[in-house]
Each structure stands twice: as structure tokens, then as C-alpha cells.
Structure 1
Amino acid sequence: MDVAVTAFRSPLIILRRPVNESASARFGSTFGFSRKQRFSSVCIPKHKHKQGRRRGFVVRASASSSPESDDAKIAPLQFESSIGQFLSQILKDHPHLVPAAVDQQLQQLQTDRDAHQQNEQPSASTTDLVLYRRIAEVKANERRKALEEILYALVVQKFMDANISLIPSVTPDLSGKVDLWPNEDGKLELLHSHEAYEMIQNHLALILGNRAGDLTSIAEISKFRVGQVYAASVMYGYFLRRVDQRFQLEKTMKVLPNATEKENSAHQTTMDNARPSIEEDTSQVMSHPEVSTWPGGDVRPGGFGYGVKATRLRNYVMSFDGDTLQRYATIRSKEAVSIIEKHTEALFGRPEIVVTPEGAVSKDENIKISFGGLKKLVLEAVTFGSFLWDVESYVDSRYHFVLN
């Protein structure tokens, strides 16, 4: 079966494999989250300035902390590193200074990495060599954690610049409902190109199915399954921004293949005619969370292709060969994968694993959510993934860490 056709019958299918091996293993049966979050804010020294005198902007990460921080009001994920906590404070107090603070922290990270690479390993004893390598490993892990939280802070800032509040940790109220969030669908739509938003609408059609026009209805759904769809939608948004940038560039340069739309429309018509029904392809439908029957709830998308419309960007991507499509669907850095894991866990928590005589069982809870709330979750997730691509590219231009 054509890779591109398979991908765009259910956009998330292609995103389950390309992530590097360690990431795909973690995203398997659970979110793959192994770290519990904790938070303490930092104190930023405030300096008095003499009138008429200008001072350069200098930011430093402080080691002091305050466990009473209200960081959750900005984003569900709580920062752990001193740099992350410092940027969190900047986000709350002076969000317009975040880019300058980030550039300075990246410069310091680059200095530290260069200094480590220039130092020669000791040639004395085996014990000294082991100790040296251990210290180097600890410092590398510290830099990686700081880099993750720099990326996360930049994503959060993008939402703040758009005047959009990130959904807080999903916690049911007394009635069991979770979606008491403001409706910001219109704002989220404006953050994407017209062609990209058409693709997002197809993505929503695959998830909501025939309930796309009934957003007030309430469903009782597995919290874990909603978390799976959220994480997969973040990855889809990352992929979508990546291919849309290429599309928009070729569109501006007027080098788009003229025959692409016509050829792919005819090709898709042929594939649609040969598409198996939901009864004939149950194994494939049940294999993916966004096109399966949701446990504990009446969410039944209409199978592959339900509500999916031919769009210009979709046809453009379908013209890619298999290798190109897989490369574009790959999350490029371990740091970005880790952010998706941690952010999703901060939103939905970790499924409780109960050991029984029959084996380990995931103890999940059901939540009550409207289809409108589910739409908001997916729109935010896709936008989060789009922003993640943007900030990953920005940071990599100043501190190279992306491998491909």
C-alpha cells in the first residue's frame, strides 16, 4: 500500500514509527513517562536604576528557590533545572525578555560544551578516567535538561504571545467533567496557514468522526486514551509545520509541481474506490487510538477516510516518496521527544500500574469531556507540535543539538 495514502487516511499512523528507537519504545503501551515533576521557582534580584542611566540586560540563573510558586498558571509542566526555573520566572514577570534570556543561556551552554570538548581526558589511572567520564556524563545530562526546558519555555512564550492559555492539568471536578476551558479555537486556527488548517480539519474529522457537528455532547472516555491522542496530535503538528514550511517556500518561489494536484486527486480516487470498509479492516482501525472505539465512551470515528477531504497540502505531501515522508515525520531530537512525554504526563498524569496474579494491569480512570473540549485539546496539541518545530529550529541555529 502506498505509504503516503496510508499516512493520510489516518495522519498519525506514520508518526508511530519514525521517532528514534528509545522514543518509540516509550510511546508504546503507555505515555512512556518515567520522571515525576517537581517545582521550585527562583528569585530574580531586582536592581534599582539611577534615573537617566541605561544598563545592559544581563540574566543569570539563580540557585535560590521558592516551593510556593504558581508556575502551573503558565503551563502544566513544572521546571526542574535552575535555568528552567529562571526562565519560568521571566515568563511570569517579563515575558518579552525571554528571547534575550534564552540567547544568553544558550551562549553559556555552548561555552560549557566547548570547554569540555577542549579538555583532554586524564591519562593517569583507570580510576581517574572513570571519574572524569562520570563527571562529563553528569554535566552533559544537566545541559540536556536545561536545553529541554529552554525549548519548553519558548513554546509556552509563543502561546502567551498569541494570548492563548495552555490547558492546565486535566483534573475532573466533582461531577467528573474536565473541560471547563475557554473556547479559543478561533485563535488557534489563526496560528496556521490556510493549507495547514485544512489538514488539521481532516485530523479532527478522523478523531471526532460523525460527532464533529455535535460539540456539546458529553462522553465518558478513558483518560489514558485521551492522553495518547494528545501526544500523537503533538507529533502530527510537528510533522505538519515541517511539511507546510517546505510547501509555503515552494509556493512562494512558484516551483510547486503543476501536475501534483491533478495526478494525486486521480490516484486518491482510485484508492478511495478500493478502500476497505470498516468491517473489512477492523484490525487496522483498532490499532490506532484516534480511529478506534474509545473505551468507556461513545466516540466512533467512521473509519479510514471519514470526513477526510482532498486538500492542496495533502496532495503535495502524497507526492513524496516513502523515504522523504518518513524523514519529515521523524522528530529530530531526543530533547523534543522528552518534552512531548513530560508535557503530556503533566496534563494527564501517569497510568497507575497494579500488579495482580494475572500480571501487571494499567488502572485507568474515565473522564467526562464534551466533544468541544476534545476538539480544543487536539487543536492545542497540534499547535504545540507546530511551535515545537519552530523553537527547535531556532535553538539549533544557536546551539547545535539536532542530529538530522
Structure 2
Amino acid sequence: MYLLILYKFSEIRVPMVPKLCSCLYNGRLEILPSKDWELESIHSLEVLNTIKEHVTNVTGLRPKSSVNESWATTKIRHFLLGRVYVASILYGYFLKSVSLRYRLEQNLSLSNHDLRLGHETAVRWFEDTIFGDSSNMQSTGQGLVQQEEEIEDIKSYVMRFHTGSLHRCDKFRYKEGVNLVGSYSSALFKNFESGLVENDDDILTSFSSLKRLVLEAIAFGTILWETEDYIDNLYKLKDN
């Protein structure tokens, strides 16, 4: 599973972040290169807008920040950075699940709309043929189309989830995925404290490095969902 995830990252030409202790320079954590565009390229437009909002909430960096703002330094606690990373993996995993459901409901909504429109067009043709011009009648197909509600964005779609649906989407589906996230995140943060120069609690880093770490975690979660789906079709995974 991990090798498939590595392969997916190689397809978008993104080298995954090594152990964070190897990214320390004079006590400052820097992750280079940023690879923001490549990490964002795997997401659909509606999902990407939600991801940008998540990145802003987590890092405090605005979507259209200047270079100086991106490279400005900030401090974050070590334990909090680990939690943000794992939470962002789960967030990417969640968004992948939700986006597929969202797209399915969109397609079903459009299909139902086409069926209703076809039905109303046939009725109107029949009335015009039998009774003459029915353009002044109130129950025209055009009127029904205008009353059709617009399809909401993915954020509003998630907001109206009932508790059961939300709970099914906000956790990992298989035990193998849970174990992989646990072992991978542990390896990423292993020996991190011992590499810090000044403070074991606070890490000095740039907003750009924080953004890279969060975007990679989200991409990891998204690719993990796809990888699980592929493997489960070949070898049955254990339900979580």
C-alpha cells in the first residue's frame, strides 16, 4: 500500500518529506521545495477551494500571500504539528470520500432534471398539437426549469450531512490504512525533538514549510483512499 502511495506521488513529481529531523537547519525547520501547485493538482476545483480554506485555518497563511509573508517565520509546538499532520491526512481522506458522493448526487440530480424536462417537453408538444398554442399555460416546462434549485457547493453539501453520514465519512475504512498512517507519521516525526537546538516544545519554521506539510498530508489522505479502493478490489482489506 505504501509503495503505491509513493508511486502516486512520483507521478506528480513530488518527493515526499523525509524525517523532519533531517529538515532542520540551524534550529529552523525548512521543507523544500514547496511543490504547492503539484500537490493541489490532484484535487478537483470545488475540493481545492475547501482545502485552501483548511490550510488558511491551520497555518494562518492567506491564499494569496506575498513571498515575504510565505517565508516569514512562526512557531508551533511539536505535539501540535504532529496532530495537524495526522488530522490533515484524515481531512484529505474525508474530502475524497465526500467528493465522490457529491459528484454522484450531482449526476443523479442532473439525470432526474433531464427526465423531468423531457417529460414536460413531451406534454407541451401534445397540448400544442391537440389544443393549439399552450405557451400561456402556467404549467410549462420552462417554468419548472426556472424553479429548479441550483446545485450547492461541496462545503454547503457537507454542512447538511446528518450525524450518521458524517460519522461514516470522517474515519478510515480499513485497519491497514489506520496502521499505515500511524507507522508513517511516527517515522516522519521520529527523533525530531533530539534534533531541535533551542526548545523542545516550540519549533521555528516558515509559513511556506507549514503549508507544504499540510498540503502533502491532505494529498496523502486522498491517495490513501484511492489506494485502499484499488487494493480492496484485489485483496479484501479488514474493516475498521
User: Normalised by the size of structure 2, how large is the TM-score?
Assistant: 0.73
Distance 1:168 1:256, change over 3 A: farther
Letter in 2 for 1:369: T
Task: For residue 60 of structure 2, give the secondary structure of its aligned residue in structure 1.
Answer: helix
CA distance in 2, matches of 1:231, 1:210: 19
Hey, what does 2:158 align to over in structure 1?
A: 317
Hey, what does 2:87 align to over in structure 1?
A: 232
Give the structure with the higher percent helix. Answer: 2
Hey, what does 1:175 align to over in structure 2?
A: 26
Distance 1:245 1:211, change over 3 A: closer
Matches within 5 A, 1:5-404: 151-171=1-21, 172-209=23-60, 213=65, 214-253=69-108, 254=110, 259=149, 312-349=153-190, 364-403=200-239
1:368 shift after superposition = 1.8
CA distance in 2, matches of 1:245, 1:377: 25
CA distance in 1, matches of 2:2, 2:48: 23
1:256 shift after superposition = 9.1
| C-alpha RMSD of the superposition | 2.4
Letter in 1 for 2:34: N
Does the CA contact (< 8 Å) of 2:175 and 2:239 recur in 1?
no
* Sequence identity (%): 34
Letter in 2 for 1:325: L
1:181 shift after superposition = 0.9
1:179 shift after superposition = 1.4
Letter in 2 for 1:401: L
Deviations 1:203-258 (A, max 9, x none): 11211236663211111322221111001100110011011111123334426996
Task: For residue 20 of structure 2, give the secondary structure of its aligned residue in structure 1.
Answer: coil
Greater RCO structure (CA 8 Å; 6+ sep): 2
Distance 1:260 1:324, change over 3 A: farther
Deviations 1:124-182 (A, max 9, x none): xxxxxxxxxxxxxxxxxxxxxxxxxxx11111110011111101111253411221411
1:319 shift after superposition = 2.3
Task: For residue 28 of structure 2, give the secondary structure of its aligned residue in structure 1.
Answer: coil
1:364 shift after superposition = 4.0
User: Normalised by the size of structure 1, how large is the TM-score?
Assistant: 0.45
Which structure 2 segments of 5+ residues have no match? Answer: 114-147, 194-198
Does the CA contact (< 8 Å) of 1:211 and 1:371 recur in 2?
no
CA distance in 1, matches of 2:88, 2:162: 23
Does the CA contact (< 8 Å) of 1:351 and 1:364 recur in 2?
no
Letter in 2 for 1:154: L
Task: For residue 202 of structure 1, give the secondary structure of its aligned residue in structure 2.
Answer: helix
Task: For residue 372 of structure 1, give the secondary structure of its aligned residue in structure 2.
Answer: helix
1:401 shift after superposition = 1.6
Letter in 2 for 1:169: K
1:347 shift after superposition = 1.2
Deviations 1:58-86 (A, max 9, x none): xxxxxxxxxxxxxxxxxxxxxxxxxxxxx
Distance 1:223 1:395, change over 3 A: same
CA distance in 2, matches of 1:242, 1:185: 22
Distance 1:350 1:173, change over 3 A: closer
Which structure 1 segments of 5+ residues have no match? Answer: 1-150, 263-311, 353-362
CA distance in 2, matches of 1:226, 1:256: 46
Query: In the comparison of the two structures, how many residue pairs are matched?
Result: 195
